[in-house]
Structure 1
Amino acid sequence: MERPLTVLRVSLHHPTPGSATFAYVPPQVEHDASPLLVGRGPDAHLRLQLPRLSRQHLSLEPYLEKGGARLAFSLKVLSRKGSVWVNGMTLRFLEQVPLGAINRVAFSGVQMVVRIEGGTSLEAFVCCFHLSPSPLIYRLRAEETDERESVPQEQPPPGSGQGAPDHLGFLHSPLQPSPGGAPEIPLQREPLDGALS
């Protein structure tokens, strides 16, 4: 009997309207248990058309935790050009961090949210991609992910009580069909408790 695959639901946003940034993003990719590469190079599994992005900018790396029975994932920075912002932490070349169930990532103007839905297969996983016309992440204090680019920052409404310097949240978004036709789960505003350990 075949074991169910872990699913990574990856939402992507770039502030440039009508850009070709996501021209090569497929609706879904089934991948073996090797790292999934993100970058602008032809060998990237998630290929983004941004001139300041490295050919291999970052990778999502599956691994088996000690005593674990399911794939876990980490994010590793492969670019020397800039930093990658992950769940409140800034990572530089060859640094990596384990991912949780919901992860907020920003690099070179791209906002990415990765949700992990665990399966029992250890041989492969599936990535489902959703392109969002609306920003996915806001930060009260600008923590640039690339020193050479600026990303417009959205501020929370006045009086929202969310004044912590490193607070992140999702913006509400209506149900939107994914490229495969199934509705995407709406992103909800959630408080984040400072830096993750």
Structure 2
Amino acid sequence: MEKPLTVLRVALHHPTQGPAAFAKVPLKLQLDTSPLLLGRGHNAHLRLMVPRLSRQHLSLEPYREQGSSRLSFSLRVLSRQGCVWVNGLMLRYLEQVPLSAINRVAFAGVQMAICIEQGISLEAFVCCVHLSPSPLIYRLKAEETDEHEESPPQLQPPPGGSEEQTPGRPGFLQDPSQTPDSSLQPSPGGGTEIQPRREPPDKAPC
């Protein structure tokens, strides 16, 4: 009697790339306990033709926890470019995280959902792929997008103005009411008020 295999059900979606990006992705494949590679290289099991994707971008790696009779899986990042979001956690090169029964993954504009259906075989597993025409991840956190990988636009001060940079805070333009004869002084209420600059007192007569 054949042993039931663990099944990884992987769904893929990209909001802008057409079907050609997933044309080289098999809908079903069986592997032993070696890692399943995803990328745009010829040796990737799941080959995606997506911009900014590395030849080996990430791997799904089966392993057996001590005392367990089932296969578990982890996701490892193999790309030096960008990052991979796994269930809201940001991973970079060579970082990895164990996967749960249901997982959401985002990288290089790709949305991927991974559902693990446990089997009893410790020698092999099956990967079934579904190409989704609709979004898989409805996230509220903007940081899970790829926007952080691009340089943010730099705000330029208006001509004649100066910009004061505070670590961890955006730059603040100079107050238009501030003149060369005034300076910023802390106010008793914790804010900032403009105080006129005081001239030094005349030297007292001998």
TM range (shorter): 0.7 to 0.9
How does the TM-score come out when normalised to structure 1? 0.73
Aligned to 1:184: none
Contact preservation (8 Å) 2:51, 2:108? no
Aligned to 1:80: 80
Aligned to 2:61: 61
Percent sequence identity over aligned pairs: 72
Render the CA deviation track for 1:148-175: whole Å, top value 9, x for unaligned.
49xxxxxxxxxxxxxxxxxxxxxxxxxx
Cα separation, 2, equivalents of 1:66 and 1:122: 13
- Picking from 135, 146, 149, the partner of 1:147 is 149
Q: How many residues align?
A: 149
* Superposed displacement of residue 103, structure 1: 0.3
Matched, 1:11 2:11: yes
Structure 2: gaps spanning 5 or more residues: 152-206
Cα separation, 2, equivalents of 1:4 and 1:26: 21
* Superposed displacement of residue 41, structure 1: 0.2
Contact preservation (8 Å) 2:17, 2:50? no
Larger Rg: 2
SS where residue 60 of structure 2 aligns?
A: strand
Q: Which amino acid aligns with 1:92?
A: R
Residues 84-123 of structure 1: matches in 2 within 5 Å?
84-123=84-123
Q: Which amino acid aligns with 1:94?
A: L
Q: Which amino acid aligns with 1:142?
A: A
Q: Which amino acid aligns with 1:147?
A: E
Aligned to 1:40: 40
* Superposed displacement of residue 70, structure 1: 0.7
How does the TM-score come out when normalised to structure 2? 0.70
Cα separation, 1, equivalents of 2:141 and 2:104: 15
Aligned to 1:71: 71
* Superposed displacement of residue 19, structure 1: 4.3
- Indicate the structure with greater helix content: 2
SS where residue 94 of structure 2 aligns?
A: coil
SS where residue 139 of structure 1 aligns?
A: coil
List structure 1 runs of 4+ shifted beyond 3 angstroms: none
SS where residue 20 of structure 1 aligns?
A: helix
Aligned to 1:131: 131
Render the CA deviation track for 1:121-140: whole Å, top value 9, x for unaligned.
11110000001000010221
SS where residue 21 of structure 1 aligns?
A: helix
